[in-house]
Amino acid sequence: MDSGRSFLEARDFLIAHRDDYAAAYAGFRWPALEQFNWALDYFDVQAQGNNRPALWVVDDEGGETKLSFAELAERSNRVANHLRSCGVRRGDRVLVMLPNVAPLWEIMLAAIKLGAVVSPATTLLSSADLQDRIERGEMRHVIADAPSSGKLAEVPGSFTRIVVGEEVAGWRPFAEAYEAPAAFEPGGPTQADDPFLLYFTSGTTAKPKMVLHTHQSYPVGHLSTMYWIGLREGDVHLNISSPGWAKHAWSCFFAPWNAGATIFIHQLPRFDGQKTLAALVRHGVTTLCAPPTVWRMLILEDLRSYPVQLRELVSAGEPLNPEVIAQVREAWGLTVRDGYGQTETTCQIGNPPGEEVKVGGMGKPLPGYRIDLLDAEGNAGNGEDEGEIAIRLDPRPLPLMAGYLDNPEASAKLLGGSHYRTSDVATRDAGGTFWYVGRADDVFKSSDYRISPFELESALIEHESVAEAAVVPSPDPIRLSVPKAYVVLKPGVEPSPAAAHALFRFSRQRLAPFARIRRIEFAELPKTISGKIRRVQLRAMEKERHARGVRGEHEHWEDDFTDFD
């Protein structure tokens, strides 16, 4: 069987069983591939004579770009020929730093056809970040938009520079690509395990790790993501994500096109809930994926006043708090379904369509993944248990990364045993649903009780004045540590002792005595560029402040108050 047909059979099986999780999980098998080029063997084949929209980009001014599958197949051929004329060869590493513009998708398809290795980068990176990536990643070519090109002016190196948009002195104009020949001849077969994507992780505690994926681990591996979202041909799918991060490739590239859906992009200079909701209605978006931060902002608006045509709602990046899910369900009659994965994998656990969602639960292992919860000694429990989420490596799931390019020791440790360990802790109930506890280094003890920050944060954001919250341990001489909440208040609510008193009262009503919030500070939350809360930074700040015996400007302790009746 040829590779393209093997991939299609696996895809079609999941689509046919999209509402029958038990059958999908029991019957799915990853296709066995030796040679596979997703752009040539799948996308181009599906694109022949296909004039349905594949990419639809709408900006804040009302302008739009809409390209069909057939048009993208031809345009990516031209881009591939142009990049080849610029010196891009099979195996070359290409750093791509672009916003959500059509050339980003054309370049990704072209790079797959060429066999080049793409390293996506967010436009928010600094010159120092770029120099680190270019040097450690051994980039031979850089493609950037004109505003980002200035950051590379001082970065040394002999790499090729190609600019998208306005011309920049010393850079090759990307626009020349559209004059290149429309027919593309590959330089040879693509092995399924050839390198394809090189991601740099967020780097919250150290230098970003370099995660390497292959031509099968991401294009084919995102069949699990397609299944989780519930995508099907003809959908108009919006994923709110910035280029440069793995989630963008998850749901702005592979998952929708694996299903034959339209990728819809709403360009905004900064997120605006009202404009986003209006775009959902105006453009008939049917499936929506957004990170928890966006969902928490959306529920600040009057969702009922937007008559959306949505069928599927999903969230990923961090666990979504039950209160948010409840508010969306009340307004739209739809349930936001959580999904879990990492840069090193595709979506591995999720609430699939057709399954009853246990609000607040991560869901169940997705087709193609076998997952255990391991204790500290690496033993897997049975039934209801708690432990580190770990993927079985026998058989090894196809979507798992090839390894960390810059750390073979870490790769061998993670990939050389019986399980790939995620460093995330969860529980599993008798029905097989997983429940997120936290990062292994985020869970802490207070008076010998284990505390999950996520549970406390979910309780806090049920309060009408709270927009976001992050809970970390605050050193305490008696209890070892106590839960402290950093709180972002909703617009119009001012930090004050009265606001803190109300939250302490709320905490006492909702949480067990050992878990209730003992300290509150009103402050902005530090986040990674990809939007994840940097609890590690908050924990470090707590230790440093405790050593100096000082409090934050808007910090309040439960002991400051006496009236909780």
pLDDT digits (tens, 9 = 90+) for 425-474: 899 999 999 998 877 777 777 765 668 787 888 889 889 999 999 999 99
Torsion-angle region of 307 (φ positive above 0: left; ψ -120 to 50: alpha; else: beta): beta
User: What angle, rounded to 10 degrees, do the helices at 453-460 and 497-510 form?
Assistant: 120
Tell me the helix, strand and coil percentages in the chain, rounded to 5: 30, 25, 40
Taking a C-beta distance cutoff of 8 angstroms, is the pair 313, 292 a contact? no
Q: How many angstroms separate the CA atoms of 210 and 40, rounded?
A: 27
Mean predicted lDDT score pLDDT of the chain: 91
Beta strand residue intervals within 279-374, DSSP E: 287-290, 312-315, 336-341, 347-350, 364-365, 371-374
Least-confidence region, from 125-134, 140-149, 490-499 = 125-134
| pLDDT score, position 204 | 44
Confidence of residue 325 (pLDDT cuts 50, 70, 90): very high
Give the domain range for residue 464.
Answer: 441-560
Q: How many angstroms separate the CA atoms of 317 and 126, rounded?
A: 23
Residue 498 lies in a domain: yes
Taking a C-beta distance cutoff of 8 angstroms, is the pair 43, 106 a contact? no
Residue 418 lies in a domain: no
What is the maximal distance between C-alpha atoms in the chain?
77
Q: How many angstroms separate the CA atoms of 426 and 454, rounded?
A: 11
**Res 205 pLDDT > 50:** no
Number of domains in the chain: 1
Residue 452 lies in a domain: yes
Residue 467 lies in a domain: yes
Neighbour count for residue 412 (Cβ, 10 Å): 12
Q: Per the structure block, which two tokens stand in for 503?
A: 């939250």
Residue 492 lies in a domain: yes
pTM confidence score: 0.84
Q: What is the DSSP letter of 35?
A: B
Q: Is the dihedral of CA 329, 332, 335, 340 positive or negative?
A: negative
Beta strand residue intervals within 461-511, DSSP E: 466-476, 480-489
Residues 276-294 pLDDT 10s: 999 999 999 999 999 888 9
Cα angle 269, 267, 322 (rounded to 5 degrees) comes to 90
Nearest CA among 516, 517, 472, 465 for reference residue 491: 465
Residue 280 lies in a domain: no
Nearest CA among 39, 160, 164, 53 for reference residue 100: 164
Q: Per the structure block, which two tokens stand in for 439?
A: 């990062």
Residue 305 lies in a domain: no
Residues 230-254 pLDDT 10s: 999 999 999 998 898 899 999 999 9
CATH number of the domain where residue 519 is located: 3.30.300.30
Top-confidence residue, 550 or 237: 237
Residue 28: HSE in the Cβ half-sphere, 13 Å Cα cutoff = 30
Of the chain, the end-to-end C-alpha distance in Å amounts to: 72
Residue 549 lies in a domain: yes
Q: How many angstroms separate the CA atoms of 218 and 33, rounded?
A: 13
Taking a C-beta distance cutoff of 8 angstroms, is the pair 54, 46 a contact? no
Neighbour count for residue 393 (Cβ, 10 Å): 16
Torsion-angle region of 551 (φ positive above 0: left; ψ -120 to 50: alpha; else: beta): beta
HEC profile for 240-273? Answer: CCCCCCHHHHHHHHHHHHHHCCEEEEECCCCCCH
